[in-house]
Structure 1
Amino acid sequence: EPLSSARHFGDEGAANHMRLAPSHGAPGLNVFAHGELRGGNYPERQSRRASQAVARLAGLNPTRTLYALQNEAAVQAGAFHNDVVAVANANVLLAHPEAFADPARLYSAMREQLPNLHVVETFGVTLADAVSSYLFNSQLVTLPGGDMALILPSDAQENAAAWSAVESVLAADNPIRHAVVVDVRESMRNGGGPACLRLRVPVDGVARAGINPRFLLTPERLAALSQVVEAYWPERIAPDDLLSPDLWAQARTAHAALEAVIED
């Protein structure tokens, strides 16, 4: 069941959740970033209570679960999602120096659980540049040889400060050795980017068996979903189109086709 809809249970999901571990199959450390009521132009959309409820309902080990208060300046700069100022993979955390309210305390607590933790901070990048360039709206992945690659939107390459930070990260002593630039503007303009897909939580055979197979992506299901999009999704929607009954009829048809694939 979803969390109750109330101010004290504001939950933005994986956008404010990071999992770190010595390796992907090893027991991990879960870090939940959250805000609190401090005023300002932007609401702090992740509550600590919601994160605690998620951790409790998921059965996470309390001794390996941390709650990190977001930096108020970062939230007011537009980073109410922590994935706009930090990205984690295995034993590496790439973060803006102003991502968290008390980074020294957080990193010390993380190192107690993960001694081989690499914290890589991007000094020289303002919060405004971090938000506008989508530098952290990226995926950090482990390559077959053990090195890591940062897969990031092309917006980051076009921002001088952000790209300079990427080059500094690649030249520094840490596992991140490659930067892969991808044009995902179409996805970003529709409200999503690489960060929306990056939380990876390993599950064993018993846990996997408990997942509804309708929500497991297979090559066959991906092909079927792609066919639905190609067949029913319009290339563009102009404001005046919203007044057209035909558009709404098409949307209902597309929804029915999507449900048919998911239910299959």
Structure 2
Amino acid sequence: MLTEINFDGIVGPSHNYAGLSHGNLASTRNFGRVSRPRDAALQGLAKMRLNLELGLVQGWFMPQDRPDEAWLARLGTDMAQATPELRYAAMSASSMWAANAATVSPAPDTVDGRCHLTPANLVTMPHRSHEWPGTLAQLRLAFANADHFAIHDPVPPPFGDEGAANHMRFCAEHDSAGVEVFVYGMGGAPFPARQHREASAAVARLHGLDPERTILARQSDEAIAAGAFHNDVVAVANEYVLFAHEQAFADREDLYAALRSRLPELVVIEVPASSVSLADTIASYLFNAQLVTLPGGGMALILPGEARATPSVWAWLEQMVGGNGPIRELHVADLRESMANGGGPACLRLRVVADPTSIDPRFLVSPDRLDLAEQIVSQHWPEEIAPHDLARPALWQTVRSARNALLDGLSLTELAD
């Protein structure tokens, strides 16, 4: 039976605030702060537990090997000799944001009736550009059943692909045929557009999507300039619902019309700029919530604590759920460590519509497996990392040992360094 599964990235033991992500306002603002990797990972695991308690199916991806010495070797250096910028990039824990891991097209949408996954190349940001080999290894392990899944290589450079953070799927129900929307950017000075139109079109072709049920939509320059470095900072979709900011798209009326012509039951919940500004939107990560269908019916938003702490945002949300719309519940997760680096609830997860029995069970989450992961994280993850700590060989070893302890405990040693 096809169902939606949220695969969250476990926050890695090298989680730090090195300010690597140009255009990500939180990442830049918190450069130089002391991070708390143990708290970050436990907060992420607590969000997974919340999803389970809501009756949702939950999966996870493992942290990648850090420091990435193989990547540094290809650059002719190593951790001891690398510039601070390259050293920071080699220690990045950004693979925790699984929304950037890949783009996923479920079986009902594809020509061969399999779920297709393409890892994102993430070439726009050096610290993320070396994630895809580790992502590909996990995808091939978790979704190894070739009767159900097709795993592609990433789109080649120079075409930047940022994965599901710039992809939305609309459908009557998760297991029915959908309309897939790929959101690309053209620029938002002074920040780069990370998702290229050519990359989006390539993924659609690789996945064998019906061109009549595939839409390429442009993100607004205003949203990018305001700090919406991915579409999922200003819009989120679930089944027949689009929840978006008024300024999310360059040609929003054309997009809405194209969607309605393909999915007449579409419901657009648009937040006007007069109620919630782009600045408040991005500070609160209102649209980086997980919009999910509850087993008992209706939909819920899983929001970061910052949304509740932003008066304009919380007032609008309370008014919305007080009406008769499809979104009936608000749930708040404490993700302060992730949010301080520019990643909210939706950043941390990759949505896959599939039969859970077709997936390697080691990548599926249960309360007992969450208990085990929390024990390992509490024992092995560093409590704090300051930027200058990233130059210490002792930390490099601690980070690698912590990850290996997790892989060993979860019986995923094929991924060990």
Q: CA deviation at 1:197?
A: 4.2
Residue 215 of structure 2: aligned partner: 66
Mark the CA change 1:105 to 1:217 in structure 2 (over 3 Å): closer, same or farther: same
Matched, 1:194 2:345: yes
| Contact 1:17–1:199 (8 Å) recurs in 2 | no
> Residue 105 of structure 1: SS of its match in structure 2?
helix
Match of 1:250 in 2: 398
Q: For CA contacts below 8 A with separation 6 or more, give which structure has more relative contact order.
A: 2
1:90 & 1:141 partners in 2: Cα distance?
9
- State TM-score, norm by structure 2: 0.57
Q: For residue 377 of structure 2, what is the aligned residue in structure 1?
A: 229
| Aligned partner of 2:305 among 154, 159, 166 | 154
Length-normalised TM-score, structure 1: 0.88
More helix by share: 1
Partner of 1:216: 363
Structure 1 residues 141 and 214 mapped into 2: Cα distance closer, same or farther (>3 Å)?
Answer: closer
Tell me how far apart the structure 2 counterparts of residues 185 and 28 of structure 1 sit (CA, whole Å).
34
Letter in 1 for 2:282: V
- Per-residue CA distance 1:39-63 (angstroms, 9 max, x = gap): 6100001011111122222222222
Pick from 96, 113, 130 the counterpart of residue 245 of structure 2: 96
Write the letter of the residue equivalent to 2:389. Answer: D
Where does the alignment leave 5 or more consecutive residues of structure 2 unmatched? 1-152
CA–CA separation in structure 2 for the residues paired with 1:46 and 1:236: 33
Relative distance call for 1:44 and 1:3 in structure 2 (3 A) is same
Matched, 1:239 2:390: no
1:1-264 superposed matches below 5 A: 1-6=153-158, 9-36=159-186, 38=187, 40-123=189-272, 124-204=275-355, 209=358, 213=360, 216-219=363-366, 222=370, 224-260=372-408, 261-263=411-413
Contact residue 32 and residue 68 of structure 1 kept, 8 A: yes
CA distance in 2, matches of 1:254, 1:195: 25
Alpha-carbon contact 2:180-2:214 (below 8 Å) kept? yes
Q: Is the 8 A contact 2:185 2:195 kept in 1?
A: yes
Percent identity for Structure 1 against Structure 2: 53
Q: Distance in 2 between matches of 1:167 and 1:178?
A: 9
- TM-fit CA distance, 1:255: 3.5
Structure 1 residues 223 and 51: alpha-carbon distance in aligned structure 2, compared to 1, 3 A threshold: farther
Rounded Cα–Cα distance in structure 2 between residues aligned with 1:215 and 1:113:
37
Which string of whole-angstrom CA distances, capped at 9 and with x for unpartnered residues, describes residues 60-107 of structure 1? 222211111001100100002111101111111110000000111001
Q: Is the 8 A contact 1:148 1:176 kept in 2?
A: yes
Structure 2 residue matching 1:136: 3-state secondary structure: helix
In 1, the alpha carbon distance for the partners of 2:237 and 2:340 equals 24
Partners in 2 of 1:55 and 1:166 — Cα distance?
34
**Paired residue secondary structure (1:18):** strand
What displacement does 1:134 show? 0.9
Q: Does the CA-based 8 Å contact 2:188-2:225 persist in structure 1?
A: no
The amino acid across from 1:143 in the alignment is L
Once residues 188 and 281 of structure 2 are traced to their aligned partners in structure 1, the CA distance between those partners, rounded to angstroms, is 22
> Where do 5+ consecutive residues of structure 1 fail to align?
none
Moved more, 163-172 or 195-204: 195-204
Cα drift, residue 227 of structure 1: 4.1
Deviation at 1:10, TM superposition (A): 0.8
Q: Distance in 1 between matches of 2:286 and 2:329?
A: 14
Contact 1:69 1:101 in 2 (8 A): yes
Letter in 1 for 2:246: P
Q: 1:243–1:58: structure 2 CA closer, same or farther, 3 Å change rule?
A: same
In structure 2, C-alpha distance between the alignment counterparts of 1:215 and 1:99, rounded to whole Å? 37
